[in-house]
Amino acid sequence: MPLDNSLNFQDIVPKIVGYSGAEIVFVVKEAAINALKRSVNVKDIIIENYRIDIDLNKLKITKNEFTLVIEKLKENTL
């Protein structure tokens, strides 16, 4: 999963201390899905018969994606 160069895990790790392995896997996968949703317009891909180039620089996972998932997970587990 490509990560944005500005992403610093020292900002993320304190927020997930105490999480189970499954929760950490969820956070990482969900952040990747959110980055994909932000970067790729599925409708355009389907219309173009999957012949659209994807800009991998836009596809990088940012701190924001991790933060949103962590906040969502905390809301759902409290």
H-state helical runs in 1-78: 9-16, 21-39, 42-47, 63-77
* Residue 14 covered by a domain: no
Unique residue bearing structure tokens 């587990």? 77
* Residue 26 covered by a domain: yes
Contact in structure between 37 and 62 (CB atoms under 8 Å): no
Domain count, the chain: 1
Backbone angles phi, psi at 66, to 5 degrees: -60, -45
Q: How does pLDDT run across 30-70, given as a tens digit for each residue?
A: 999 998 888 777 777 677 766 666 666 678 899 999 999 99
Q: Which domain holds residue 70?
A: 19-77
pTM score, whole prediction: 0.77
Give pLDDT, residue 2: 85
